[in-house]
Amino acid sequence: MLTAFLDYYRAALLDRTFGLDQQQLATPLAPSSLTIGGLIGHMTFVEYVWYRVRFAGHDMPEPFASLDWDENPDAEMALAESWPTEHLLEAFDEAIRDSRQQVKNAASLDDLSELNRNSDREKWNLRWIMIHMIEEYARHCGHADLIRESIDGDVCQ
């Protein structure tokens, strides 16, 4: 059930990109600078952070590992807005495939993360991570709905 809800929101966010070109994907809804392309880039990064890095304990893949977070705390969004649409969507798909593999590798939803949550050495279990990701996608799908409507009037039914 968790996977089904998560996949629903992954698809809902991706649906907001349908038919948009690179320029439209980089169009913000004033007064925010947030864009649909930036949201896709952010969620690509977040997929890796939670499943690959925090849960499985692997290194962050490029190009995210080399971004200058001090210079731009939203570097993953800015980077994503510079990518051609096809590359952006392929990167998102690859991150999701990687996340699904990390879940598949787990013995159960009770498996604990490799990285600690805090200085008390507490860990996240996979169930918590999946629920958190559903919440993260739901929030950003709402943002994407508003941005998409401002671009071409398309509303999610």
Whether the per-residue pLDDT at 157 is higher than 70: the answer is no
What mean pLDDT, rounded, does the chain reach? Answer: 95
Of 41, 31, 25, give the one whose Cα is nearest residue 75.
Answer: 41
Domains of the chain in start order, with CATH, are 2-152 (1.20.120.450)
pLDDT digits over 17-67, tens only?
999 999 999 999 888 999 999 999 999 999 999 999 999 999 999 999 999
Please give the structure tokens belonging to residue 90.
């392929």
Whether the per-residue pLDDT at 156 is higher than 80: the answer is no
Q: How far is the C-alpha of 38 from the C-alpha of 140, rounded, in Å?
A: 10
pLDDT digits over 96-115, tens only?
999 999 999 999 999 999 99
Residue 55 neighbours by CB under 8 Å, 6+ apart = 102, 106, 111, 113, 114, 115, 124, 126, 129
Residue 54 DSSP label: I
